[in-house]
Amino acid sequence: MARTSLIENYAHGAAAAVRAAFADRTNFILQSLSMVVNNGFMLVLWFMFFAGFRSVGGWKLSDMALLIGLIMSIVGVAGIAFGGYRDMAATILSGEIDALLTQPRSVLARLLSRDSSPSGWGDFATAVAILVAFAGLSWRDLPLFAMGWLSGLIIYIAAATTFASLAFWISGARSLARDMTEFVILVSTYPGSIYSGASKLIAYTLLPAGFIVLTPVRLLRHPSLATLATVIGAAAVYAAIAIGVFHIGLRRYRRGATPTMGA
């Protein structure tokens, strides 16, 4: 019952944030369209690249379309339904979190559901078009796609939450969390064949693009139980890390040991 109540409370908060994003129609349309245009330029660049080079380390245009569609849809849904992750560090550092501590609901869920990004709809719309038109997926791929996509979404939000939770210890975490999250997105937009050695280690640990998009792509192109177990296990591990780091920091915050707003 408590878990159901938590989900319902989160859903109400997220729905309110989405309605607020729709309230300013002009801003909503401009942000959504600007993101569509931005994503369109990136897609055109990859089309031009693969027009000259048919494949890169075994990656073809359809594989890149799948990867880009995955990361765009993940970032889009994260911004729409969990948009509070973007300014979570600032919320912690500014003391706005105090108001949430007096309410008998999950502080983390409230933080994630407190905002919704209009640009997320642009990301999501572009992603759907790319996946349908260029990724080479069939209806039979939907179950594996759903598993890979959901795992990627959980890992992305978990990574961003972990970065933001550094605000419980570091006064400059607002900029650091944003930069780290942007790096995750950047690393997730390149084919896995370019990563090796230290860069591959980083892509599968600190900036977990490997588990957000690269492993789901492998799951769809070369399905196996081992790969499926990997994406599910990675989602569970990163979620546990994020929840653990946040609540350790929250206990520190309650003791008054959190730094104030920095640069």
User: How is the chain split into domains, by residue range?
Assistant: 2-254
Distance CA 157, CA 241 (A): 11
For residue 170 the two structure tokens come to 């570091």
Find where tokens 């994503």 sit.
39
CA-closest candidate to residue 67, choices 157, 208, 190, 151: 190
Within 8 A by CB and 6+ apart from 252, the residues are 168, 169, 258
* 87 three-class SS: helix
**Better-scored residue on pLDDT, 10 or 125:** 125
Query: pLDDT tens across 11-22, in order?
Result: 888 888 888 888
- Local confidence band at 3 (pLDDT 50, 70, 90 cut-offs): low
Check residue 143 and give its pLDDT. Answer: 96
Does the pLDDT of residue 225 top 80, yes or no? Answer: yes
Q: Which residues of 61-70 are buried (b: 16+ CB within 10 A; e: fewer)?
A: bebbbbbbbb
258 vs 186 pLDDT, higher one: 186
In whole angstroms, how far apart are CA 109 and each of 47, 90, 224? 39, 16, 33
Q: Coil, strand or helix: which one is 202?
A: helix
* Identity of residue 14: A
pLDDT at 104: 65
pTM for this prediction: 0.92
The reported pLDDT for the residue numbered 7 is 75
